[in-house]
Homo-oligomer: A and B are copies of this chain.
Amino acid sequence: MTIKDVARLAGVSVSTVSRVLNKHPDVSPLIREKVLEVVKEHHFIPNSTARNLVRPRRDAVGIICLGRSNPFYPPIISQIEEMLNKAGYSMCLRFITLEEDELTYAAELERAERLQGIVFLGGRSDYTVAETAALTVPYVCCSFTNYFGDVPRERYSSVTMDDVACMHDVVGYLYERGHREIGLLLPSFPNRSISELRYRGYCGALKKLELPMREENVLFCSSFREEDGYQAVKKACQKGLNCTALVAASDMLGVAAIRAMHEEGVRVPDDCSLISIDGLNITRYTLPAITTLVQPQKTMGEESVRLLLDMIINKSDGQHLIVTPTIRQGESVQRLN
């Protein structure tokens, strides 16, 4: 099916079909309708390949998503794609494993795909100027920021919640409900990351509330993977869990923690309460439903694109946006007072 066939079937000239397809105003409504009917009936898609050969392809923005099966990111990605589409950019989406380095990957992708900008979904928080020198286009850190790095703040943008303050929120939520022995499950942090920020937030919150900080209440796991969280909680339960509530650094770690506690005879929330971070939809359906700190995913996606386009189009300096999470109540926190 070519444009000539459409013209023949509609009984008009090829240039008329072309004018209709390109939405030129100088076509009578009747003719327009006739052409579109033929187009629709025969599922004709204008072949723009020839045009593409001379025109450059649409400008692309790279999205580099850390962690291949993390259900936290897809809703953000949807929002990013919609915004990019509206702005006339194409999206180049890649998932990388937790073992890969997003900066090295991004630098290669930037060149291979001639990207105009990059959004990192997850990543390290300690970029150096030397490392980022390999990137020649603007970038946005989404759901984290370059807290420990030495890159000047005007050189990149970020959209994230305050990972220190958020721990004050969740620890405070437990405190208000009478909890005084509050544990933490989170990945250890050989690379400075949001885990370190959340750990600092946890320590700060305990101190502020004058609660005891006990080494045995901090359960380190080797990654954000469910299996690693499960093993860490299982071991802790076997030694004897001394807290009345546990904060899990992500919802999926929370799900794994509940399973591990269950197997060791610790009931949630009767024997130990649990609160986690992210706000995944699945936490509404698990038994018990999990009380969680919900990150505003839609806003995070929208704002990441807005800040990136501002840098690409207006050559503006980087901007740093702090989004506000909210706690969604489930069934996993018991009131002790």
- Measured CB to CB, the residues of A under 8 A from B are 1, 42-49, 52, 57-58, 68-69, 71, 74-75, 77-78, 81, 90-95, 97, 104, 107-108, 111-114, 130-131, 133-134, 226, 230, 252, 255-256, 258-259, 262, 281-282, 284-287, 289
Q: Which of B68, B92, B93, B256 contacts A78 (CB 8 A)?
A: B68
Assess A68 versus B57: contact at CB under 8 Å? Given A45-B108, A111-B49.
Answer: no
Question: Which residues of B sit under 8 angstroms from A94, Cβ to Cβ?
Answer: 81, 91, 93
Cα–Cα, bound, A262→B77 (Å): 33
Number of copies: 2
Residue of B nearest to A229 (CB): B285
A131 contacts B95, CB within 8 Å?
Answer: no
Q: Is the CB of B259 within 8 A of A69?
A: no
- State the CA gap A196–B77 with chains docked (Å): 30
In whole angstroms, what is the CA distance A71 to B69 when docked? 7
- Assuming the contacts A43-B130, A90-B112, A282-B226, asked whether A95 and B77 have C-beta atoms less than 8 A apart, the reply is yes
Bound: A95/B133 CA distance, A: 31
12 further A-B contacts with Cβ under 8 Å, apart from A42-B133, A45-B104, A49-B111, are: A1-B133, A43-B131, A45-B111, A45-B134, A46-B111, A49-B114, A68-B77, A71-B71, A77-B95, A92-B92, A255-B286, A258-B285
Q: Closest 7 A-B residue pairs measured CB to CB?
A: A259-B285, A45-B107, A45-B134, A69-B74, A93-B93, A68-B78, A287-B287
A255–B47 Cα distance when bound, in Å, is 45
| B residues near A44, Cβ cutoff 8 Å | 134
